[in-house]
Amino acid sequence: MKQLTEKQQEILDFLIECIREERYTPTVREIAERFGIKSTNAVRDHLAALERKGCLTRRANTSRGIELAEEYLEKPEGIPIVGRVAAGLPVTAVENLDGYLAFETLFGGNDKLYALRVEGDSMIDDGIWDGDYVIVHEQPSLDNGEIGVAIIDEEATVKRIHRRGKIIELIPANELYQPMEIDPEETPFRIGGKVIGVHRRLR
Amino acid sequence: MKQLTEKQQEILDFLIECIREERYTPTVREIAERFGIKSTNAVRDHLAALERKGCLTRRANTSRGIELAEEYLEKPEGIPIVGRVAAGLPVTAVENLDGYLAFETLFGGNDKLYALRVEGDSMIDDGIWDGDYVIVHEQPSLDNGEIGVAIIDEEATVKRIHRRGKIIELIPANELYQPMEIDPEETPFRIGGKVIGVHRRLR
DNA sequence: GATTATACTGAACACTTGAGCAGATGTAAA
DNA sequence: TTTACATCTGCTCAAGTGTTCAGTATAATC
Specify the 3-state DSSP secondary structure of A76: coil
The secondary structure of A125-194, three-state, reads HHCCCCCCEEEEECCCCCCCCEEEEEEECCEEEEEEEEEECCEEEEECCCCCCCCEEECCCCCCEEEEEE
Specify the 3-state DSSP secondary structure of A202: coil
pLDDT for A87: 60
Q: A113: nearest CA in chain B?
A: B79
CB B153 within 8 A of CB B74: no
Q: For A75-109, how does the pLDDT look when each residue is reduced to its tens digit (9 = 90+)?
A: 766 777 777 666 666 667 666 777 777 777 677 76
Let me know if B53 is a catalytic residue: no
Low-confidence ranges of chain A (pLDDT < 50): 1
CB B110 within 8 A of CB B162: no
Share of chain A above pLDDT 90, in %: 55
- Domain ranges in chain A? 6-72, 76-101, 113-199
Give B154's pLDDT tier (boundaries 50, 70, 90).
Answer: confident
Share of chain B above pLDDT 70, in %: 89
Q: CATH code for A6-72?
A: 1.10.10.10
Given B79, B85, B202, which is nearest A198 (Cβ)? B202
pLDDT for B82: 77
Please report residues of B whose CB lies closer than 8 A to that of A201.
106, 196-197
pLDDT for A143: 94
pLDDT for A152: 87
Mean model confidence pLDDT for chain B:
87
CB contact under 8 Å between B154 and A85, yes or no, is: yes
pLDDT for A170: 93
CB B123 within 8 A of CB B132: no
For domain B113-199, the CATH superfamily is Umud Fragment, subunit A (2.10.109.10)
pLDDT for B84: 64
Report the candidate in A46, A6, A49 with the shortest Cα–Cα distance to residue A26: A46
CB contact under 8 Å between A155 and B85, yes or no, is: yes
Given A78, A155, A156, which is nearest B103 (Cβ)? A78
Let me know if B166 is a catalytic residue: no
CB B92 within 8 A of CB A138: yes
Residues with CB under 7 A from strand C: A 5-8, 32, 35-42, 45-46, 49, 52, 61-63, 65; B 27-30, 39-41, 44, 58, 60-65
pLDDT for B85: 62
Q: Do the domains A6-72 and A113-199 sit in the same CATH topology, yes or no?
A: no
pLDDT for A188: 86
Average pLDDT estimate for B166-184: 92
The residue count of chain B comes to 203
Nearest nucleotide from residue B66 CA, by C1' atom: C18
> Which of A122, A141, A166, A194 is the catalytic position?
A122
Residue B34 and residue B11: Cα distance in Å, rounded? Answer: 9
Q: List protein-proximal bases of chain D (any atom < 7 A from a CB).
A: 5-12, 15-23
Q: CA–C1' distance B4–D7 (Å)?
A: 14
A29 touches strand D (CB under 7 A): yes
Please report residues of B whose CB lies closer than 8 A to that of A88.
154
**Model pTM score:** 0.70
E strands in A19-87? 56-58, 66-68, 79-82
Q: For B56-105, how does the pLDDT look when each residue is reduced to its tens digit (9 = 90+)?
A: 999 999 999 999 998 888 776 677 777 766 656 666 666 677 777 777 76
Q: For B9-58, how does the pLDDT look when each residue is reduced to its tens digit (9 = 90+)?
A: 999 999 999 998 888 999 999 999 999 999 999 999 999 999 999 999 99
Please report residues of B whose CB lies closer than 8 A to that of A127.
127, 129, 200
Residue A147 and residue A159: Cα distance in Å, rounded? Answer: 6
CB contact under 8 Å between B199 and A201, yes or no, is: no
Among the residue ranges A4-8, B144-148, B186-190, the one predicted with the least confidence is B186-190
Question: CATH number for the B6-73 domain, one of 3.30.420.40, 1.10.10.10, 3.40.50.150, 3.90.105.10?
Answer: 1.10.10.10
CB A99 within 8 A of CB A81: yes
Is the pLDDT score of B1 beyond 60?
Answer: no
